[in-house]
Amino acid sequence: MTPTRTVPIPAFLRRNAWDLGIWLLLVALVGYYTTLIPSFGDFQMASISKNSLPLVYLAIGQAIIVIAGGIDLSIGSQMVLSGAVAAQVMDERSFVATLILGMIIVLGGAVLNGIVGWVVNVSAVPDIVVTLATSFIWSGMALVVLPSPGGGTSPGFRELFTGSEFGTGTNYVNSMVMIVIPMVLFVYILRRRRVGLSVYAIGSDRNAAYLSGVDVRVAKIWSYAFGGAMAAMAGLATMAITGIGDPRASVGANATLKSVAAIVLGGVALTGGTGSIVGVVAAAIVLFFLNPILSAKGIDPNTAQVMEGSLIVIVMMIAGYSEHRRRRAT
Amino acid sequence: MSTTLLKTTGIAKRFGPVVALKSVDLEVAAGEVHAVLGANGAGKSTLVKILSGVFPPDRGTIAVNGEPISVRRPRDAMSAGLATVFQDPALVPDLTLDENFRLTRADLPSIRESLARFDLASLDLNTPVSEIPLETLRLIDLARALSLDPQVLLLDEITAALPADKAEHVFDVMRTQRERGRSVIFITHRLDEVIQLCDQATILRDGANVATLDPGAGGHDVLVEAMLGAVPERRETKRSTGNARSDGAIALKAEGLVSGDHVKGVDLELHAGEILGVAALEGQGQERLFELLAGDRRPHEGRILVDGSELRARSPYDAISKGVVLVPADRLRALLPNRSVRENLAATFYNRITSWLGTHRDEPQKVDGAIDRLDIDIRAQGRVRQLSGGNQQKVVIGRWLAAGFRTLLLFDPTRGIDIQTKQQIYKLLRELADDGAAILMYTSELPEIPQVCDRVLVMYDGQIVNEQDGPQATEQSMLSAAHGLQSAESDA
């Protein structure tokens, strides 16, 4: 009964079981994939890590907002907007210029979505309604900035995300580094810095957080700002992979749903307060990875979509049921 | 003997139409342990929340060391030297202890020192708060509050449900603060603690301070009397039956019910034809007990027998089908607020399979019967939401009249209801009991019990500590028992 004596390793395993499980699932899927295709090498590694970048970024952003007790239905539209703006302003520019522009876009994404967080605070309208509305603003703006797919960026900027100036190749180091950097950064911010802890706190028990002196409104705005920054990163990554901007709203809507699926699979409770970025990153890669696996199995994309959706429903049911059990226990 | 450390003048607060605090003047000297006492609804917790910055007062001033301060957020209170330990610890459940301390910029060495004092030195600070028992959390929260080195430490029912050895640590802290010339505001239901520990006690009644006295001087009776005010002569009540108790068959029986920390072993027998009252201070497990009996939750231990057969409810539906129905505290939760009176009364029929094929045949008659019997004012035909509280409550009771039941559970049925409707409800309950229904009623208004109930059970800390004859019970005798003073006049 007393929590005073804990054996370190089992407790660590127990508390991080979901993260470990999802990483093991990823490893298992990679192992399985190698048996499905004739040869598995650097090219496949590069393809998987590079192409999962946008979803990884979106999932990290969505995870932070959901951990804080919200949800952002506009995160995919923000990605589309950022990609469109980037393709428009970066075309024909030098690497240094595109790098600076990229940073400005990420900062801009943070500021814009921070304002959305502020709107949620002052309006007291549920997050889901506010962000559904803002999603139309962002997708509309994307089409204003870039009416049809086009634009471009510097080869160096493409190489930064994809490991190749042409967006395709066998170098997987760059894209893996680009996965690891935000993951480590946000694990540090969320678990070690006060601002990150306050994000967990308002999602876990807003009242307790308030009573212990946390500024719950500022924490909410930060969660949206982090989410907006990651959505902008996702837009940059998409543009770097394809080489052009794509302003279609359907791309954003689809991406939003996948980001929610990824965080649920990654162990983030939709009720807020729990979950870790480490699990979410693995879950986003797993979710992306289902595409090549199912196509290697010869399953047509439509059926694949049905399977993907069913999988998400099952995961949500398991997560929901265990949450229900936990609440009933006390 | 010493200077005033904290002084409030004319603190007032209302929530919509409800006046929580009329005007509170509180004066706490340096080096003083000051109790704030009062019955349910007297305004204790509102006062604590204002002093802690949970919400600002409507009127009134707060001064620390003679300096007026503005407390609009919890942080304001902390920086003014007021630290509070709330009844529910303000620790975030999904973070570890260490993360919680980091979040609030708490002084870790100081916390460790306090934890060592509380025999918690070996506590692993990397444990998530959700895995730590509540009683330990209270002490941890206290350690965190102490790390702020507060001028005034506010303890809101910290010793409720705290075992004696742990409560002793709290008392020790209170004494130390006093020796250091700091003040403690202590809110508790345990009068023994007040008498032993407190230098002064301020009594609140109906949102105002009515007395400040030295609790050591007078003993329990003086404190209880001050809380109740001038005890009004007990209204003579006309109860239709002399001694209905124990005559009827046992309609509902609970054996050793346990549910978490809330209900810790409750046995009770409810007979057909009797009205059994439950009296308790807030948060003694009565909510949970009613949830268990109504089938809203399953007990962790023990069993519930309805007419001799065990109730193993998966949902309230199972209890209802055995004739056990609940009138909950929150009326609108039990109603379909945007539907008409008629639809609400008929809602309990919807489950019957025959109603799938259209209107249940006798539905209109039963609904009319309920409306007549309860004298529900149905001029407001539209929505139940628009009815007065009293009429809403009648609709809740009326739907069970229409549907039929054998055991009626009522949780604080007359809260916020005018006196006339109250009388109608009392009369109706008595008629129902005379017709053979078994009725269990919790009420926060103690004067109702001698008027309405045949017997009364007093709950304290998750257990039934006392049973009294209903008509003979006095507010004083029930309040003493409800404060855990078991020895004092246990059976009137």
pLDDT score recorded for residue A108: 98
From A36's Cα to the closest Cα of chain B, the distance in A is 41
Looking at the partner chain, which of B74, B103, B122 has a beta carbon nearest the beta carbon of A4? B122
User: Testing the interface with A: which of B88, B95, B125 to mutate, by most A Cβ within 10 A?
Assistant: B95
Domain that holds residue A296: 44-329
Nearest residue of B to residue A1 by CA position?
A: B133
Looking at the partner chain, which of B54, B93, B99 has a beta carbon nearest the beta carbon of A211? B54
Residue B44: name the closest of B187, B212, B214 by CA: B187
In a domain, A308, yes or no: yes
Looking at the partner chain, which of B95, B131, B132 has a beta carbon nearest the beta carbon of A201? B95
Cβ(B85)–Cβ(B141) below 8 Å: yes
Distance between CA atoms of residues B359 and B18, nearest Å: 41
**For chain B, what is the mean pLDDT?**
82
Q: What is the pLDDT of residues A94-111, one digit of tens each?
A: 999 999 999 999 999 999
Is the pLDDT reported for residue B349 higher than 70?
Answer: no
Nearest residue of A to residue B51 by CA position?
A: A211
Q: Select the more confidently predicted residue: A60 or B309.
A: A60
CATH number corresponding to B250-482 = 3.40.50.300
The residues, any chain, with a CB within 8 Å of residue B430's CB and separated by 6 or more, are B239, B240, B241, B275, B452
Looking at the partner chain, which of B54, B84, B103 has a beta carbon nearest the beta carbon of A197? B103
Cβ(A27)–Cβ(A48) below 8 Å: no
From B323's Cα to the closest Cα of chain A, the distance in A is 25
The residues, any chain, with a CB within 8 Å of residue A225's CB and separated by 6 or more, are A110, A111, A113, A114, A117
In a domain, A117, yes or no: yes
Highest mean pLDDT, choosing among A69-83, B18-32, B112-126, B368-382 = A69-83
Is the pLDDT reported for residue B380 higher than 60?
Answer: no
CA separation, residue B427 to residues B239, B271, B321 (Å) = 9, 19, 26
Distance between CA atoms of residues B474 and B449, nearest Å: 9
Q: Do B75 and A208 touch (CB under 8 A)?
A: no
Kindly report the number of other CB atoms within 10 A of residue B171's CB atom: 15
pLDDT score recorded for residue A203: 95
Cβ(A89)–Cβ(A76) below 8 Å: no
* Contacts B94 to A, Cβ<8 Å: 200, 203-205, 273-274
Q: Which pLDDT band holds residue B125 (cuts at 50, 70, 90)? A: very high
CATH number of A135's domain: 1.10.3470
CA separation, residue B234 to residues B230, B243, B299, B472 (Å) = 12, 19, 38, 10
Q: Is beta strand B324-327 parallel, antiparallel or unpaired with respect to B208-213?
A: unpaired
Residue B371: name the closest of B353, B391, B356, B347 by CA: B391
pLDDT score recorded for residue B48: 92
Q: Select the more confidently predicted residue: B19 or B489.
A: B19
Is the pLDDT reported for residue B302 higher than 60?
Answer: yes
From B46's Cα to the closest Cα of chain A, the distance in A is 14
pLDDT score recorded for residue B360: 54
pLDDT score recorded for residue A328: 61
Distance between CA atoms of residues B489 and B258, nearest Å: 27
When pLDDT is averaged across residues A168-194 and rounded to a whole number, the result is: 94
Which helix (H) or strand (E) segment holds residue B15: the answer is strand B4-15
In a domain, A29, yes or no: no
pLDDT score recorded for residue A206: 93
Q: Select the more confidently predicted residue: B436 or A120.
A: A120
Residue B144: name the closest of B188, B185, B112 by CA: B112
Cβ(B155)–Cβ(B85) below 8 Å: yes
Distance between CA atoms of residues B304 and B296, nearest Å: 13
Q: Select the more confidently predicted residue: A15 or A112.
A: A112
Distance between alpha carbon B204 and the CA centroid of its chain, in Å? 17
Is the pLDDT reported for residue B233 higher than 50?
Answer: no
Is the pLDDT reported for residue A228 higher than 80?
Answer: yes
Q: Select the more confidently predicted residue: B243 or A109.
A: A109
DSSP A245: B
In a domain, A321, yes or no: yes
When pLDDT is averaged across residues B203-217 and rounded to a whole number, the result is: 87
Positive or negative, the CA dihedral B75, B77, B78, B79 is positive
The residues, any chain, with a CB within 8 Å of residue A196's CB and separated by 6 or more, are A186, A188, A189, A190
Residue whose structure tokens are 């009720």 = A271
| Whether complex ipTM tops 0.90 | no
When pLDDT is averaged across residues B319-344 and rounded to a whole number, the result is: 79
Q: Select the more confidently predicted residue: B394 or A286.
A: A286
From B436's Cα to the closest Cα of chain A, the distance in A is 35
pLDDT score recorded for residue B369: 76
Q: Select the more confidently predicted residue: B321 or B146.
A: B146
Cβ(A174)–Cβ(A163) below 8 Å: yes
Q: What is the identity of the amino acid at A90? A: M
Least confident of A120-124, A145-149, B184-188, B314-318: B314-318
Burial A139-173 (b: 16+ CB within 10 A, else e): bebbeebbeeeebbbbeebbbbbbbbeebbbebbe
Q: Select the more confidently predicted residue: A174 or B463.
A: A174
Nearest residue of A to residue B288 by CA position?
A: A330
Q: Do B103 and A194 touch (CB under 8 A)?
A: yes
Distance between CA atoms of residues A251 and B167, nearest Å: 60
Q: Do A204 and B91 touch (CB under 8 A)?
A: no
Q: What is the layout of strands, in order, in the sheet containing B250-259?
A: B263-271, B250-259, B301-306, B309-311
* Contacts B127 to A, Cβ<8 Å: 3, 6
Kindly report the number of other CB atoms within 10 A of residue B363's CB atom: 19
From B100's Cα to the closest Cα of chain A, the distance in A is 8
Looking at the partner chain, which of A1, A204, A328 has a beta carbon nearest the beta carbon of B92? A204
In a domain, A277, yes or no: yes
Instruction: For chain A, list residues whose CB is within 8 angstroms of any CB belonging to chain B.
Output: 1, 3-6, 15, 191-192, 194, 197-198, 200-201, 203-205, 207-215, 273-274, 328, 330
pLDDT score recorded for residue A327: 62
Looking at the partner chain, which of B103, B133, B297 has a beta carbon nearest the beta carbon of A198? B103
How many interface pairs between A and B have CB atoms less than 8 angstroms apart? Answer: 85
User: Testing the interface with A: which of B104, B136, B147 to mutate, by most A Cβ within 10 A?
Assistant: B104
Is the pLDDT reported for residue B491 higher than 70?
Answer: no
Q: Which pLDDT band holds residue A8 (cuts at 50, 70, 90)? A: low
* Contacts B132 to A, Cβ<8 Å: 3
Q: Do B92 and A209 touch (CB under 8 A)?
A: yes
Burial B289-302 (b: 16+ CB within 10 A, else e): bbbbbbbebebeeb
Distance between CA atoms of residues A48 and A172, nearest Å: 9
* Contacts B297 to A, Cβ<8 Å: 328
Distance between CA atoms of residues B85 and B217, nearest Å: 28
Q: What is the pLDDT of residues A32-64, one digit of tens each?
A: 999 988 888 899 999 999 999 999 999 999 999
Specify the CATH architecture of the domain B4-228: 3-Layer(aba) Sandwich (3.40)
Look up residue B379 and give its two tokens.
């001029």
Residue B297: name the closest of B336, B341, B260 by CA: B260
User: Testing the interface with B: which of A211, A271, A326, A328 to mutate, by most B Cβ within 10 A?
Assistant: A211
Q: Do B103 and A274 touch (CB under 8 A)?
A: no
Residue whose structure tokens are 């428009």 = A88
In a domain, A190, yes or no: yes
Three-state SS letters, A100-150:
HHHHHHHHHHHHHHHHHHHHHHHHCCCHHHHHHHHHHHHHHHHHHHCCCCE
Angle at B402 (CA atoms; ends B396, B408), nearest 5 degrees: 55
Q: Show me where the domains of chain B are located.
A: 4-228, 250-482
When pLDDT is averaged across residues B296-316 and rounded to a whole number, the result is: 83
pLDDT score recorded for residue B167: 87
Q: Do B94 and A204 touch (CB under 8 A)?
A: yes
Concatenated DSSP letters for B125-185?
TTSBGGGS-HHHHHHHHHHHHHHT--SEEEEESTTTT--HHHHHHHHHHHHHHHHTT-EEE
Distance between CA atoms of residues A130 and A136, nearest Å: 10
Domain count, chain A: 1
From A192's Cα to the closest Cα of chain B, the distance in A is 8
DSSP B381: -
